[in-house]
Amino acid sequence: MLTAALLAAMTTACTGSAPHATGSSSRTAKPGAAGVGDALFPALGNGGYDVSHYALALDYIPEANHLKGTATVTARAAQGLSRFNLDLAGLTVRNVTVNGTDARFTRKKNELILTPTRAIKNGEIFKVTIKYDGTPKMIAGSDGGTEGWIETDDGATALGEPNGSMTWFPGNHHPSDKATYDITVSVPKDEDGDPYDVVSNGELKKEEDTGRRVTRKWSSDEPMASYLAHVAVGYFEIHEGWTSDDLPVYVAVDPDESEDAEEVKDLVPEITDWAGERFGPYPFSSVGAVVDHLPDLGYALETQTKPYFDSAPEDTLLVHELAHQWFGNSVTPRQWKDMWLNEGFATYAEWLWQEDHGGKSAQEIFKSFYDGAHPESEGIWDFPPIDPPSASRVSDSPVYGRGAMTLHKVREAVGDKTFFDILRSWTKKHRFENVDTKEFIALCEAKAGKDLTRLFDAWLFSEEKPSG
């Protein structure tokens, strides 16, 4: 992603009618935590359970910007639960069941607090179904970015980094709890009888046209953080193809961007093949892109399997967001403070692409950042990449540029052969997992066979500008 929006969105209280938890299991059960204790986003996510699957059935009316949804969340209790929370911003909850029985629910800010009839036992797999509707909202961050459910000129798009996904479905909205997804969206045809296109993550499993509405079911069988979940409703030109490894490619382009985005359908498989050689096998079962016409948005996002672009992207931006499929989407930070593991790696992928395709070398780009000559180098010494001072700065330039510079110094210290072995080992060892910076440093030192403390202290942890 190239900017991010932050926490907002307050909701009103709402109460269901089911009784409080009872039964013998309630003696050892306790409430799950509201928030996972993230240093930058303490209110995000929830404790006491791990989600394994989201089944989202959405009915959207573009003309009215009205969303009606049923979210079925399958999870495993990590403790005895007398009650637990889901994150949800806005929208009206109509009914909640836990394991098929009505559950009591209340609202407090962005927390949906659920009390099942029977306490949930530690280790129990349970299923929560939430029916909700309303006008989904956008969240505006202090950095001027916008996320959440965003209306476009011909429909809508849902963008979630870091917490916008809570505006369109209830869930455990922290990247430490990844899950598989089925996203089914039903949309009425427009006033001329023309169908809207619906694009989401993963593969298109089912398409139904009843004459008055179109329904599409998309499935993601590989784990995904909720901020990477995406839906785009509108009119798109669809391009399908294959990579050289027979990976299916699905590219959706808004007709208003068609001319400028002509090369995207060919660049996506080309970049994916190139990145596979550099970073290891592509981690998911399909790849693609969504090129929308929303030029005032101001950023692109690495939505899983099909990164989203607000307008026709240049090749380096495509490289950046596709590199995130390895770094950020498959291998995902456990805490938002480790965002450099996403953005520093994707930025360095841009440098490698230029180096491999007749542009400047990574060393030349590094020097232009160090000297302040690169247009994206402003502010890179404001704070260490590992330590964004606040949530509002988690997407600032040190996380990107200085993060990439750290990787270049590692490459310089260990040599190309070991460096690219590190990258491929990182994506293989931690495929679909959550990670932290200590694990990356440990891998670098193990592969290099030497202590790299001084390097990481200078480039990743120090508040001072290191000597070149």
Q: What domains sit in the chain, N to C, each tagged with a CATH number?
A: 1-194 (2.60.40.1730), 332-461 (1.10.390.10)
pLDDT of residue 468: 77
91-124: pLDDT as tens digits:
999 999 999 999 999 999 999 999 999 999 999 9
User: Is residue 382 pLDDT above 80, yes or no?
Assistant: yes
255-287: pLDDT as tens digits:
999 999 999 999 999 999 999 999 999 999 999
Mean pLDDT of the region 335-340: 97
Q: Count of alpha carbons within 13 Å of 274, Cβ hemisphere only?
A: 21
User: Is residue 331 pLDDT above 50, yes or no?
Assistant: yes
pLDDT of residue 1: 61
Q: How confident is the model at residue 31 (pLDDT cuts 50, 70, 90)?
A: very high
- Let me know: does 17 contact 4? Beta carbons within 8 Å: no
Q: What is the DSSP letter of 334?
A: S
Quick one: which of 315, 439, 335 has its CA closest to 387?
A: 335
Distance CA 204, CA 331 (A): 24
DSSP letter string over 255-312? GGGTTTTTTHHHHHHHHHHHHHHHH-S--SS-EEEEE---TTS---B--TTS-EESSP
Measured CA to CA in angstroms, residue 38 lies from 21, 35, 132, 274, 315 at distances of 29, 8, 27, 35, 34
pLDDT of residue 15: 37
User: Is residue 27 pLDDT above 80, yes or no?
Assistant: no
User: Is residue 369 pLDDT above 50, yes or no?
Assistant: yes
Distance CA 200, CA 198 (A): 7
User: Is residue 20 pLDDT above 50, yes or no?
Assistant: no
164-216: pLDDT as tens digits:
999 999 999 999 999 999 999 999 999 999 999 999 999 999 999 999 999 99
User: Is residue 5 pLDDT above 90, yes or no?
Assistant: no
- Let me know: does 339 contact 324? Beta carbons within 8 Å: no
DSSP letter string over 119-179? PBPTT-EEEEEEEEEE---EEE-TTS-EEEEEEETTEEEEE-TTTGGGGTS-B--STTS-E
Q: Looking at the DSSP assignment, which residues form a beta bridge with residue 72?
A: 55, 129
Measured CA to CA in angstroms, residue 424 lies from 73, 159, 313, 327 at distances of 33, 29, 27, 11
Q: Looking at the DSSP assignment, which residues form a beta bridge with residue 96?
A: 130
Residue bearing the bigger pLDDT, 268 or 11: 268
Tell if the pTM clears 0.85, that is, is over it: yes
